[in-house]
């Protein structure tokens, strides 16, 4: 929203339903984002040239289909293509068909199947809810009883082999044929310092990744992004929108951990803060099948770091209703952006927390250390009772100290003898 509002080629930005953050850069409309007919009608009334669908739930519910059926250009995949995020089993099926390297996996419908799969893949155990779970459906544990207990709460689950190595988020804008990758970013999934505690939707992110192997973007475009887009096009369900690849850089090469069908949160905040290409133009080109005619994406120099402010209790039931103060001074000298997520306004006109991840603060700087300093100075000026944030976002990278296992992965990836990925290798096989 912020990046669109800053594009000089974009006349007006409207949000449905929006929040107090979007209200400062766009016009909010009290329209249910899950109601395709209502979203299409709003876009029609406004004479919108482009509808951008942000979250996964409306995509999976077919809101992009409704908007396109009304003859309005839409950035966001159809319900069918959004199954890449909506069903882990479907994503595995597409990857197998496209030869995309991922963890070996088994879809299980009974406790006996889960138990057998846990024993097949061994510890650490990875158990994923098959459906949408806002980043919280995954349990990674060496405790077999905990793995079984999580599976019991899910219904259909995917059990898979553990992937060791640093994680990278690589996003691509696509019109269903042409793929334009963004720069890589890293997300911090665990709730606590030093990656302790349960998984969340993401507690912070930074970009670029000084430790990433050279050629990573080109390699992942060729081995993951383009083949996935091609496979969906081949099936007659082209993916138009943002393809998010969550990757593990393992000692044996790049493996896909998950796909999402939308811009990831919070990686998008630092990424778009550094994107120099006008965002509206490139999203419109993707929505109208004209991405190939667009110049390559351009990036600002320097680095960006986002730190998420979460409400107490998150990722469990969050304490909502707390008043957020300090927002007026948080941006400091201008190298800080505040991006709202779970916020609302109370009867006194005060900004309050309405969700687990309340907002993120993005710091910009010449390098990661400077960007971190800005982000933490900014978030330090904001108060929310019971609220918390991770103190270590981008810390190791800023110290030019690659993540513990990154050195190995980078070495192996750079070794031409072992190659980086082997799409035909045994790890791509899928047991469905
Ligand atoms: P997902 O929702 O599939 O992205 O999973 C959330 C997080 O769980 C990932 O970002 C990883 O940190 C972790 N995870 C998921 N799958 C695996 C795996 N096969 N091996 C190791 N960690 C995983
Ligand atoms: N940052 C992870 C996600 O958006 O799902």
CA distances from 344 to 270, 352, 356, 359 (A): 23, 5, 12, 11
pLDDT band at residue 134 under the 50/70/90 scheme: low
Q: Does the Cβ of 299 fall within 6 Å of ligand 1? A: no
Kindly state if the Cβ of 241 falls inside 6 Å of ligand 2: no
Q: Which ligand has an atom closest to residue 199 CA?
A: 1
Six-digit token string for 257: 């951990």
Q: Residue 171 CA: which ligand is closest?
A: 2
What pLDDT digit, counting tens, does each position of 364-406 carry? 999 999 999 999 999 999 999 999 999 999 999 999 744 444 4
- Counting ligand 2 atoms within 8 A of each CB, the residue from 169, 170, 339, 393 with the most, and so the one to mutate, is 169
Cβ-based burial of 55 (10 A; exposed 0-12, middle 13-18, buried ≥19): middle
Ligand 1 centroid to Cα of residue 236, in Å, is 29
Read off the pLDDT of residues 18-58 as tens digits, 9 standing for 90 and up. Answer: 999 999 999 999 999 999 999 999 999 999 999 999 999 99
DSSP codes, 322-370:
PBEE-HHHHTTTTTEEEEESSEEE-TTS-EEE-SSEEEEEEEEESSHHH
Which residue's alpha carbon is nearest to atom 15 within ligand 1? 257
Q: Is the CB of 189 under 6 A from ligand 1?
A: yes
How many angstroms separate the first and last alpha carbons of the chain?
39
What ligand 2 atom has the least distance to the C-alpha of 262?
A: 4
Residue with tokens 């059990």: 159
Q: Give the Cα separation of 357 and 352 in Å (integer).
A: 12
Residues in the chain: 432
**Could you read off the pLDDT of 264-274 as tens digits, one per residue?**
999 999 999 99
Residue in 170, 199, 247, 265 to alter for ligand 1 test, most ligand atoms within 8 A of Cβ: 199
Question: What's the confidence (pLDDT) of residue 135?
Answer: 58
pLDDT in tens, 316-352: 999 999 999 999 999 988 899 999 999 999 999 999 9
Beta-sheet pairing, 125-129 with 157-160: antiparallel
- Residue 32 CA to chain centroid, in angstroms? 22
User: 3-state DSSP helix/strand/coil percent for the chain, to nearest 5?
Assistant: 35, 25, 40
Substitution site in 54, 56, 128, 135 for ligand 2 pocket (most atoms within 8 Å of beta carbon): 135
Ligand number nearest CA of 246 is 1
Measured distance CA(185)–CA(80) in Å, rounded: 27
The string of DSSP letters for 97-144 reads: HHT--B--EEEESSHHHHHHHHHHH-SSEEEEESS--TT-SEEEES-H
Among candidates 55, 59, 156, 162, which has minimal Cα distance to 113?
156
Neighbouring C-alpha atoms within 13 Å toward the C-beta of 236: 0
Q: Which atom of ligand 2 is nearest to the CA of 264?
A: 4
Q: For residue 242, give the nearest of 213, 219, 271, 216 by alpha carbon.
A: 271
Query: Cα(36)–Cα(32) distance, rounded to whole angstroms?
Result: 9
Can you give the pLDDT at residue 405?
46
Please report how many Cα atoms fall inside a 13 Å half-sphere around the Cα of residue 75, on the Cβ side: 25
Is residue 187 within 6 Å of ligand 2 at its C-beta? yes
Domains annotated on the chain, with CATH: 2-83+427-431 (3.40.50.20), 104-160 (3.30.1490.20)
CB of 140 closer than 6 A to ligand 1? yes
Non-local (6+) Cβ contacts of 15 within 8 A are 1, 22, 23, 26, 27, 28, 29
Place of tokens 């999402």: 260
Task: Report the alpha-carbon distance of residue 160 to residue 158 in Å, rounded.
Answer: 6
Decide: 137 in ligand 2 pocket, CB within 6 A.
no
Q: Specify whether the CB–CB gap between 318 and 191 falls below 8 A.
A: no
Which of 173-177, 316-320, 359-363, 421-425 is the least confident region?
421-425
Is any atom of ligand 2 closer than 6 Å to the C-beta of 208? no
What pLDDT, on a 0 to 100 scale, did the predictor assign at position 425? 29
Query: In which band, very low, low, confident or very high, does the pLDDT at 136 lie, cut at 50, 70 and 90?
Result: low
Cβ pair 412, 252 in contact under 8 A = yes
At 77-132, the pLDDT tens digits run 999 999 999 998 999 999 999 999 999 999 999 999 999 999 999 999 999 988 77
Residue 195 region, left (φ>0) first, then alpha (ψ -120 to 50), else beta? left
Q: Is the Cβ atom of 157 under 6 angstroms away from ligand 1?
A: no
- How far, in Å, from the CA of 262 to the mean position of ligand 2? 9
For CA atoms 24, 25, 26, 31, give the dihedral sign. Answer: negative
What is the CA(160)–ligand 1 centre distance, in A?
Answer: 10
**Atom 1 in ligand 1: which residue has the minimum CA distance?**
258
Whether residue 105 is preceded by a cis peptide bond, meaning omega within 30 degrees of 0, is: no
Task: Choose among 403, 417, 178, 186: nearest CA to 288.
Answer: 178
- Closest-lying ligand to the alpha carbon of 136? 1
Q: Is the dihedral of CA 184, 269, 356, 328 positive or negative?
A: positive
For 183-236, give the DSSP string: --BEE--EEEGGGEEEE-S-SEEEE--TTSPTTHHHHHIIIIIHHHHHHHHHTT
Residue to substitute in 129, 138, 198 for testing ligand 1 pocket (most ligand atoms within 8 angstroms of CB): 138
Q: How far apart are alpha carbons 102 and 92 in whole angstroms?
A: 8
Pocket test of ligand 1: the residue of 162, 250, 258 to mutate, having most ligand atoms within 8 Å of its CB, is: 258
DSSP 66: H
Geometric angle at alpha carbon 155, from 152 and 160, rounded to 5°: 80
Nearest-atom number in ligand 2 for the CA of 134 is 5
Q: Report pLDDT for 412.
A: 37
């Amino acid at each position: 929203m912020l990046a669109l509002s800053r594009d000089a080629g974009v006349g007006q930005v409207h949000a449905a339903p929006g929040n107090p953050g979007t209200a400062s850069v766009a016009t909010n409309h009290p329209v249910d984002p899950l109601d395709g007919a209502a979203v299409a009608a709003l876009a029609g009334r406004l004479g919108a040239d482009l509808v951008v669908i942000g979250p996964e739930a409306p995509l999976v519910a077919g809101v992009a289909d409704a908007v396109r059926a009304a003859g309005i250009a839409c950035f966001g995949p159809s319900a069918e293509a959004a199954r890449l995020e909506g069903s882990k089993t479907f994503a595995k099926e597409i990857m197998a068909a496209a030869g995309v390297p991922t963890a070996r996996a088994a879809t299980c419908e009974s406790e006996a199947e889960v138990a057998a799969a846990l024993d097949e893949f061994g510890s650490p155990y990875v158990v994923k809810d098959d459906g949408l779970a806002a980043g919280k459906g995954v349990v990674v544990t060496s405790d077999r009883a905990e793995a079984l207990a999580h599976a019991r709460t899910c219904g259909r689950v995917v059990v898979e082999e553990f992937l060791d190595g640093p994680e990278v988020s690589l996003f691509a804008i696509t019109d269903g044929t042409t793929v334009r990758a963004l720069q890589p970013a890293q997300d911090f999934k665990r709730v606590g310092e030093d990656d302790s505690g349960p998984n969340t939707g993401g507690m912070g992110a930074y970009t670029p990744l000084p430790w990433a192997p050279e050629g990573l973007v080109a390699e992942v475009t060729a081995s993951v992004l383009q083949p996935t887009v091609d496979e969906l096009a081949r099936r007659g369900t082209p993916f138009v929108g943002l393809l998010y690849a969550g990757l593990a850089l393992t000692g044996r090469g790049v493996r896909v951990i998950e796909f999402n069908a939308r811009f990831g949160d919070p990686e998008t905040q630092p990424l778009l803060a550094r994107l120099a290409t006008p965002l509206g133009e490139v999203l419109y080109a993707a929505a109208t099948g004209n991405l190939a005619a667009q110049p390559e994406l351009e990036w600002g120099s320097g680095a960006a770091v986002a730190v998420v402010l979460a409400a107490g209790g998150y990722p469990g039931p969050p304490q909502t209703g707390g008043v957020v103060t300090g927002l007026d001074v948080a941006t400091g000298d201008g190298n800080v952006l505040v991006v709202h997520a779970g916020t609302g306004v109370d009867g006194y006109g005060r900004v309050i927390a309405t969700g687990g991840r309340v907002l993120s603060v993005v710091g910009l700087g010449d390098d990661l250390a400077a960007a971190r300093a800005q982000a933490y100075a900014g978030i330090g000026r904001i108060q929310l009772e019971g609220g918390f944030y991770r103190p270590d976002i981008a810390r190791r990278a800023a110290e030019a100290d690659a993540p513990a296992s990154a050195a190995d992965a980078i070495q192996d990836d750079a070794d031409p003898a072992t190659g980086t990925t082997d799409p035909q290798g045994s790890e791509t096989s899928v047991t469905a």
